[in-house]
Structure 1
Amino acid sequence: MATRSVIATTTVVSSAQPLAVGELAHACGADVAWVVQLVEVGIVRARIEQQDAPPAQWRFGSGDLHRALAARRLERDFGVGLDAAALILDLQQEVRRLKAVLESRGTL
């Protein structure tokens, strides 16, 4: 009987411990240039201290990680470009928001 081992690494993402651009890229199996594109199309929002901070100084929260991973899946599974992924993710977020409003009013 063969024994199989799995090693998993976890990283805590919080406001006190945001992800660096390289960490976000690695978590998505991508490179930093891809993350820069995510910022450019508005899928994720870099937390920066200075207006013209280079990508090496960008930081990202857990919501950004979630959206970046979702964009990666859309690219991989459906061949969607990042502009379309941004639109899809925004529409999904709006649907969730509207459902929450309807549920709070007891109409759903």
Structure 2
Amino acid sequence: MIKKDDTDKYDYIICIGVLEYCHVPEKLLKILADYLKKDGIFLLGTDNRCVLRYFCGDRDKFTGCNFDSIEDYYRVDENEFPQMDGRCYSNEEIKRMTDGAGLVCRHCYSVYPSIEALN
């Protein structure tokens, strides 16, 4: 676990099932990137809002409604987002956030039906 006063740099940072619960994911990614060695590996596992399970009618895990994630939560009022437990992001949004944090996204993989099912 990374601590606030930690100055070490790490070869590997693994962040699975965290990004979707973070209200400011760009900030989290930037903080984690600062702890990664220059040639280090960052492994990110997160729900993708544009995957087959949601197109098949699976309910969004944060709103409990069908199609909210693939429709980019357009039915969710902007003022409701802070009260939500989290949200899913598209592959493109994830790439944009990781690029913005200085983390080069080289490989993206999908799992079916969900990352939680890998247990």
Q: TM-score, normalising length from structure 2?
A: 0.25
More strand by share: 2
Give the number of the structure whose residues are more often helix, by fraction.
1
Greater relative contact order (Cα 8 A, min sep 6): structure 1 or 2? 2
